[in-house]
Chains A and B, each alone.
Chain A
Amino acid sequence: MANFWRNPLFGWGVDRAEESQPTLPHRPPQEPWDENRKSKVEMFPVGRPRLYYKWPGHGGWTWNRKRYWPTRRRLLNIRGEYNPKTMRREKTIVDKRPLWWVMALSFMVIAPWVMPEDFQTTLLTAGATFAIYAAINLVWMLVIGTAGIYSLATYAVVGAAGFGTAWLSINLGVPWYVLPFIGSAIGLVFGLIIAIPATRLDGFYYALLTLGLNELCRVYALQSKIFGSSTGGLYGADTYISEHWDDTTQSLVAYFACLTLMVLALVLFRFVNGKRIGRVLRMAPEKREAFAEATGVNFRQARIMVFVVSSIALGFIGGFYTAHYRGVSFSIFSFDTVLLGVAMLVIGGIGRAEGAVAGAAIVIFLDKALLSLGPIRLIIIGTIMLGVVLFLRGGLFGIKPQFRAWRDKKKSERRSTRAEKGGEMLPEEATETRDKDLIYWRRYDKMQRDFLKKLVSPEVIEEHRKSPLGQHSEALERLLLYFRRAPLSDKYAIIAVEPFKAYRIVALSGQRGVAPRIVEDRIYASQEEAYHGIFMRRVQDLLES
């Protein structure tokens, strides 16, 4: 820093004036002002990115909406709006799920004709299993998702109906088309039995109890002779798949029958979840019953209703299961079946129909299509389930809202880091102060301090040490002017303990009649040393502020 300040008083006989002093280069005081006034917000092109495709809309058509019987709902939830820039009429499809459903279901319908010939039988069998499990999951979702009751006895109901109908079909020759209805009756009875504890128990108590009931069914069926403890299940029931058809027809009929069952379950889900009872159940989840009751909602009746409906449906599925597989095995009661069912629900996302179906598709694909892998495929399923539980809040179909919430959080975090603070008043404080000048004074003071901090350098300190009084370089002069203008309270001053021999630094109280307080014990031998001591303290205070 070979920059020197030339003392203009040198050569005029001023005491102790040196010709030049080393100092830092000049900084314009305008600098902090410009820096502070500059906008630091990153500028993007105007407007928001369009997350939805906007369909062109004709004014006359916007209000002409098709509604489907028996509800008054529209086929698609379409929002009509004007583009604020072009003032053109636009349509946004708010909820695209019906479109996805139509695409997925039509793919399932045409799938048998587009799948590779070699795997057709395997894939159709897997598809039929998928459809049955998806149907069970949809009904189960009514209890777990809509009603929020963690019942793990679903497969017990299905299995009980399956075993009951299989036994009736084998021993009494009941034809296949009656089995689902008998299954419904068995399911109703069974559902009422498991609904009794549900009136008193809640949460885990119920979940664990139903898990125990499931185990009870398994052990009972395993031990009883009439349910075929020796053969691993009951087989030989009447079936809707005729033996006279060829293999392809058999698997096609089975596939489409199961698909129909799944569509029926979807319809049931929609008519329970999307109607009054679903709304009632979702407003009265566990631990919020009191609120629901206070608003006049009869949640008990709704819960019993959903239990009855879902048990009848599960029984129906159980009867169909028997008619489909010609019987039922003990594995339906096993803990692993319950685990896989829970995995399906959790992977897809609890509370959504698409979650139940997609979860079933994923798990059944891993379980049936990768049979050659042995136990590893179940480990894969478990790992997916664990990952979903640990990282996702609402399963795979909850990723989108979760991502948006995360993005908004990050946005607001970034916004808050952009706001600068440091001596300035916070908005709350600013509205409370009577003296609004103070707000601007503080802001100015902060800018001034930021500038002065940059002026402090060893050269300046050395210059002040040599001569605390008299003409100084520009930087030091600015610093001293700022220090001298400080308010009186807590302003440093010198007190002469013994003139010309001992001085100390004190801080003024700022109040008339109140003595200054002593800030340090150090005794300075001369007045100039004491001046420099004060200067050093002030510089330190400035740098710390």
Chain B
Amino acid sequence: MDLGFIITNAIVLSCIYGTLAIGISITWSSVGLINLSYGFIFAFAGYGAWYTAQFLSENGAIVLAAGILSGAFAGIVVCALAFIPIHDKPNFNVRGLIATLAISLIGTQGLMWWFGPRSKNLPDIFGSWSVMLGDMALTADKIGNVVTSIAFVAAVVLWMRSSRRGLEIRAMMMNPHAASIVGIGVRSTGFYVMAITGGMAGLAAVLLSQTYYISPFGGLTPMIKGVSIALCGGLGSVQGAVIAAMILGLNEAITSVTLGGQYVLITQFILIIGILLVRPRGIAGILDRAREA
């Protein structure tokens, strides 16, 4: 196992997990919901893409789009179930968290019931070519993963910066109460946010399926990684999530090289706990102060 291989792997994975982390971060900071059904959205999007690949077309772009769309759909369903009915009720934060946990339980068991425990795999989306960089072979899926995830996240961030809806979402992030006073619909914004972050989960699901498989419970580990990156970067901050994804990816690469693969999670958590002990709101967690209430 050479260094270059590990580093490229770490970069690819941190790009994918970073996408998830940014999704979790945006959800939390704009609608105030810790979305623990993100793993279910991830798995659902994977199955959506798999269905498309089975019955519609194996074209990479179509499969990718199907994954994103089914992720967005699952996000909307989660929003309708866990955000709309209780977002103005007392104790929403905790109840929303538990509601998403319940959706996660129902959803993953439903997938298990419908598709069975056998895992599925998707076709190669980006083809099977490779580029030699020095003595290192960069395969198509690695380059494709990195480019696609960065492009998608950049597109979302740009959209949030430049569009009217993005302005609404950013206003919700800063002060949800004031945003609703000036006429920004909390519910409609909730649907937009959940659809977009669901789409991010869908994208991550399709991209990760180039390395791993799709299974009903396959969303759990990516979700936990995404959550830890989002925590570490500071819930609600895109830049923080990017920095945290890079740090944790680096940690993963270094640990795999020096200690061995099975210690990755341990060092990762020690690192996260260390960072959180120094900065309890994460690396860039200043925005979060607006979301205290």
Contact = CB atoms under 8 A, between A and B. Distances in A.
Interface of A: 150, 196-197, 200-205, 207-209, 211-213, 215-216, 219-220, 223-224, 287, 335-336, 339-340, 342-343, 346, 374-376, 378-379, 381-383, 385-386, 389-390, 393
Contacts of A200: 276-277, 280
A343 B280 CA distance: 28
B105 A378 contact: yes
Contacts of A339: 101, 104-105
A507 B109 CA distance: 77
Contacts of B280: 200-202, 205
A382 to B, nearest CB: 4
B247 interface: no
B276 A208 contact: no
Contact of B228 (A212, A375, A383): A212
Interface of B: 28, 34, 36, 39, 81-82, 85-86, 90-91, 93-95, 97-99, 101-106, 109-110, 112-113, 217, 220-221, 224, 227-228, 231, 235, 262, 265-266, 269, 272-273, 276-277, 280-282, 292
A150 B94 CA distance: 9
Q: Which of A208, A224, A390 has the most CB of B within 10 A?
A: A208
A219 B276 contact: no
Contacts of B235: 204-205
Given A207-B97, A389-B95, 8 more contacts: A197-B273, A204-B235, A208-B227, A213-B269, A335-B220, A385-B98, A389-B98, A389-B102
B95 A212 contact: no
B102 A382 contact: yes
A237 B220 CA distance: 31
A387 B39 CA distance: 21
Contact of A197 (B82, B86, B90, B276): B276
A389 B39 CA distance: 20
Contacts of A216: 265-266, 269
Nearest to A222: B262
Contacts of B28: 204
B106 A382 contact: yes
14 contacts: A150-B94, A150-B97, A197-B277, A205-B280, A207-B97, A216-B265, A216-B269, A335-B220, A339-B101, A346-B98, A375-B113, A381-B105, A386-B99, A386-B106
B105 A208 contact: no
Given A197-B277, A212-B272, A220-B266, A382 B98 contact: no
A223 B262 contact: yes
Given A196-B277, A205-B280, A215-B224, A220 B265 contact: yes
Contact of A385 (B93, B102, B262, B273): B102
B85 A390 contact: yes
B231 A208 contact: yes
Which applies to chain A's interface (DSSP): helix, strand, loop or mixed?
helix
A207 B109 CA distance: 23
A208 B269 CA distance: 12
A313 B20 CA distance: 37
Contacts of A213: 269
A334 to B, nearest CB: 9
A211 B224 contact: yes
A196 B113 CA distance: 40
A335 B269 CA distance: 17
Contacts of A220: 262, 265-266
B101 A209 contact: no
Nearest to A377: B109
B240 to A, nearest CB: 13
Contact of B105 (A201, A376, A385): A385
A215 B231 CA distance: 15
Given A201-B276, A215-B265, A375-B113, A208 B94 contact: no
Given A220-B265, A346-B98, A390-B86, A212 B276 contact: no
B86 A212 contact: no
B85 A209 contact: no
User: 5 closest pairs, A vs B, by CB?
Assistant: A382-B106, A382-B105, A386-B102, A375-B113, A385-B102
